[in-house]
Structure 1
Amino acid sequence: MEVLALVGPGGVAARLSAIEDAWRQVLGWTIAPWRGNPAQTVPHLVGFLTNNLLWACSSYEEVGQDIDDLRKLHAECAALVSGEKRPGRVQIGACPTVVGDAWCGTQLTASTGSHRIHCPGCGARWETLGEWRELRAAQERALAQLAGVAA
């Protein structure tokens, strides 16, 4: 199943294409015309990202998220090749952190192989059992506040 997830829709080619498309949009370039099947596309995508990495690191504000996405993709591919069983991820609700005047709201996940939770949206972290309890309480307060606004 992991192989199909990486080679099918939403797999390696799609995830690399999303990063390339975002970079091309910021650069004012057109979408790459040579897209085909994943076997044809991935080498071009990797070449594009490699050739433009220095630009992205120095001039593209969202490069940090893209690097995180590339790290995750690499870890998934490496685990698949090595036969390593990756820990599962569980959705645990929305991030209750207030950023400026707004609620972050990014969907949080927790790994069955780690005690840390990190919000990819705002960077908030919860690492101890006590912090997990605080996270849950904050989520409940945010949901109650949203329910009060909706009513």
Structure 2
Amino acid sequence: MTCSLCPRAVDGYLCSRHRDKLSAQLRGLPELYAEVGECLVPRRSGWGEIVATRGAAGPRSPIDEDILDTVNWAVASEVIHSWRTDIRRLRWPHRGSTPPARLDADCRWLVQELDWIVAQYPPAGELAREVRTLDQQARSVVGDPAPRPQALGSCVAQLSSGIICGAAISRLPGQTRITCPRCGYPYENEQDWLALLRFQPGAAA
């Protein structure tokens, strides 16, 4: 089986790289959409003071209503909650109804269930795509493009053949756990990071 988002061979539905990316995006969505609200709503106003003006006489709202209709906390909350409801229905069919929608709580719940989602949930790739879309839409509003991966060097893991893997290793800012895209070796603790730094070609002895 291959990852739903790339050609990497996996046991479930997402490779470790896309799992980690989904986890990071879910963790960041509540704060990101809170910032969206501050960008779209004038500081002197509250949400209750927004009046739709399309097709009506009088001055237009000082915000872009087309963006407001599609990129806001309520839309993000509805999308994420629908995923939580579906996953909960399959994973915990005998439990009661899903708690009311709350973007922060629903994102935390999905992060906690990621291991099961990656291993057992066929639409995991579609979930990752929708979360990525929500993330990109919000960043297009707040003027904060997604961070670029930071190059760390070459994988220093030894393969069964005895040679060093040597695949390019990179991570997103703040990411503390990565997996080599070629050999699958995990870098997740201080010893791993020190070995990666020490055994780079040309590194001082």
- Higher relative contact order, structure no. (Cα contacts within 8 Å, ≥ 6 residues apart): 2
Q: Give the TM-score taking structure 2 as reference length.
A: 0.33
Q: Give the TM-score taking structure 1 as reference length.
A: 0.42
Identify, as 1 or 2, the structure richer in helix. 1
Identify, as 1 or 2, the structure richer in strand. 1
